[in-house]
Amino acid sequence: MSPERLCWAVVAAAGLGRRMGSAVPKQHLDLLGRTVLEHSLARLIQHPAVRRVYVALSPDDRWWPDNGYYGHSAVVSVAGGAERCQSVLNALRALGRQASADDWVLVHDGARPCVRSEDITRLVERLRDHPIGGLLGLPVRDTMKRADARGQVAATVAREDLWHAFTPQMFRLGPLRAALESAIHAGAAVTDESAALERDGSRPLLVEGAADNIKITRPDDLPLAAFYLQHQQRGAA
């Protein structure tokens, strides 16, 4: 891969993580001696394709000044919004003062500390000439069920062609910013960047990544992430 830095990065880290049941937002919890967010930022900052990282944080975030990347020359912090899509849009608008509308942007979850460098490389290489962009993901392996309002099985859903959507997701700055603005203006529920692009008929490319690229959501995810990170470190040794 060329050492040329091909894209910018945005990290969504303004969430409160209520499902963790912790007084500390999940992105600031300890994970093997560093915070979850520090691990996530490191995966992007250390990647040769990434020019600079814009991280969207809650305006009331009191933990960020203790982060090891606070004040780092490759990191710009911006105020996040009430929803993930608003946080990403705020970061894109700030980035737009420095970057071109045609520049690529990698959008990553601050609570995904285990993304592999080789997966980021694969995503960038697969998409650098793609007209739309795309995202890391993994084909669904389990039998899928749809539940009713009472938690009973309403239907079994065919798993063929279903994928788990991961991050990073990689799109051009201008089209992604416009898609998020349109979705927010319309009140559309978009939970990731791909969904915003899909609203206008775009078809992002799915790029298979490693299954250990988990998102910290519940308490049991922390020890699992620690296991994955230690396994990755042993593999790199």
Question: Which residues of the chain are under the pLDDT cut of 50?
Answer: 1-3
Non-local CB neighbours of 67 within 8 Å, separated by 6+ positions: 28, 35, 37, 38, 41
C-beta of residue 159 within 8 angstroms of C-beta of residue 140: yes
Q: CA 8, CA 130: separation in Å to the nearest integer? A: 17
Whether the full predicted model's pTM is greater than 0.75, yes or no, is yes
Q: CA 24, CA 111: separation in Å to the nearest integer? A: 13
- pLDDT, one tens digit per residue, over 126-180 is 999 999 999 999 999 999 999 999 999 999 998 899 999 999 999 999 999 999 9
Side-chain-side CA neighbours of residue 15 (13 Å): 25
Domains (range + CATH), the chain: 7-134+165-236 (3.90.550.10)
C-beta of residue 169 within 8 angstroms of C-beta of residue 197: no
pLDDT attached to residue 17: 66
**Pairing assessment for the beta strands 7-13 and 50-57 based on DSSP bridges:** parallel
Q: What is the DSSP string of the chain?
A: --SS--EEEEEEE----GGGT-SS-GGGSEETTEEHHHHHHHHHHTSTTEEEEEEEE-TT-SSGGGSTTTT-TTEEEEE--SSHHHHHHHHHHHHTTTS-TTSEEEEEETT-TT--HHHHHHHHHHHTT-SSEEEEEEE--S-EEEE-TTS-EEEEEP-TT-EEEEEEEEEEHHHHHHHHHHHHHHT---SSHHHHHHTTT--PEEEE--TT-----STTHHHHHHHHHHHHHHHH-
- pLDDT, one tens digit per residue, over 2-15 is 446 789 999 999 98
